[in-house]
Structure formats: C-alpha cells, structure tokens
Amino acid sequence: MRGSHGRNAERTRARWRNGAWRAAAALGLALALACGADRDTGTDLAPTPTPAPDPPPSELPIATLEVEDFGALRIALFPHKAPKTVANFIELAESGFYEGTTFHRVVPEFMIQGGDPNSKDRDPRNDGLGGPERGVADEFNDTRFGRGVVGMAHSGRPGSAGSQFFIMVAERPELDGHYTAFGRVLTGLEVADRIAEVERDLYARWGPRDRPIEDVMIAKVSIERPAASAR
C-alpha cells in the first residue's frame, strides 16, 4: 500500500496530465483559426445567451461565393449582429479583394478558412499570414457557432480580424464568444462539405497545416442588397 506521500504525488501527476490535455486542446483550436499566428483566442467570456431570431433573408444582404470547380454558396450577412464586420466584408467583396484567393485551411468536421490575399501568389508558405492594412473591431454576439455559420478569423489580439473568414461545417460551441459571427449559409453548404474533405497537407510541409494540396479558389464574391422596405 502506498503512503500518503505517494498518493499525493500520483494525484499531482494526474492533475498535471489533465491540465496539459486541456491546454493542448485549447491551443489546437486557436491554431485552427488564427490568422497565421500561434496565439490564444483571447479572454474567456460568459456563455452566450439564447440567440435572438434573425430577420428573414429577404431583409438581409446576401453574399454569393463562387468557388472554382466546386459551386456557389449563398450567405446571409448579419448587420444586425456585426455591422462593422459586415460593412468591411461587403467593401472588400465589391472591390474584388477576394477574387483569386483560396481556402487555405480546411479541417473536416470543423471548418474551411479563406480570404487571405497572400493565397493569390505562388508561395504557399505565406498563406494565412495576410490581410488588408486595416483591422475591424471584434463584434462578439449571441450567434452560436453551429453548422453553416460564418465567422471572422483573428490572431488573438483585439481588433485583429481583417479579411480572413471561416465557414463552419460542424457545431463547435467552444468558439462562441471568441470570434465574430457575421453570417450564415443559406444554400450551398454541401459545397463547403466537399471543400472540407479535399486532400490537404497535414504536416505543414509546403505551407500552413491543413492547406489543400490543390488550390481551392474563390472566383468571385458578389453582394445582393435587400430591397428597400415599403413605406
């Protein structure tokens, strides 16, 4: 039978192992969505409340992402939840910023991430590190990160979101309150599912981890604004 010292030592080792596992899991989540930086996601927030109902799609701006060789996704944007983020996304889209960028990181049963202008060049090593010159303020809200939700990636610093976004292909409530949700896929989620399953570089041999071996290119992003409400 072990003495009290041996039992205490074993309990200490067990607590350390449990804490190390949790830390590793948290780091893996941060790496999956950081804009090329190995940093934490920020300060923990209280659990998000039950989301308020969203307006009908007819009252929301719609973004259509045309992905070469895969198809199109129609995304309802949420200015009622993240007005600055939506305005920034629309401005970038209408300027042609996203044309020729790729989904540079894909994780099955999690998300696909794109929107980095560095992904337009022939050097995969800088994918995930780029964005516009300006950032956009964080607008954490009560939208939960379920399947089809669209969010902004960031580096872990406040206001570091820029152009990179991600589309959820599974429910991940641990993201709630840590990233700005600014839209939801209306149609074409099966396109995101197919992108999430493409062959990818698991070991960061040629670029960021989980980069598709073959480029998955965004050909065009168009914006449809809601018709003015009848008075």
Mean pLDDT to the nearest integer, 28-34? 47
Mean pLDDT to the nearest integer, 39-50? 46
What are the chain's domains? 4-224 (2.40.100.10)
For 30-66, b where at least 16 C-beta lie within 10 A, e where not — what string?
bbbbbbbeebebbeeeeebeeeeeeeebeebbbbbbb
pLDDT of 206 reads 87
pLDDT in tens, 59-83: 999 999 999 999 999 999 999 999 9
Identify the weakest region by mean pLDDT among 36-40, 114-118, 216-220, 222-226. 36-40
**Based on the number of CB atoms within 10 Å of its own CB, is 3 exposed (0-12), middle (13-18) or buried (19 or more)?**
exposed
Q: Given pLDDT bands bounded at 50, 70 and 90, which one contains residue 53? A: confident
**pLDDT at 39 exceeding the cut of 70:** no
Instruction: For CA atoms 88, 90, 92, 95, give the dihedral sign.
Output: negative
Task: Report how far residue 180's alpha carbon sits from residue 18's, in angstroms, rounded to the nearest whole number.
Answer: 30
pLDDT of 158 reads 94
Strands 218-224 and 149-152: unpaired
- Among residues 173, 218, 171, 167, which one has the least CA distance to residue 196? 167
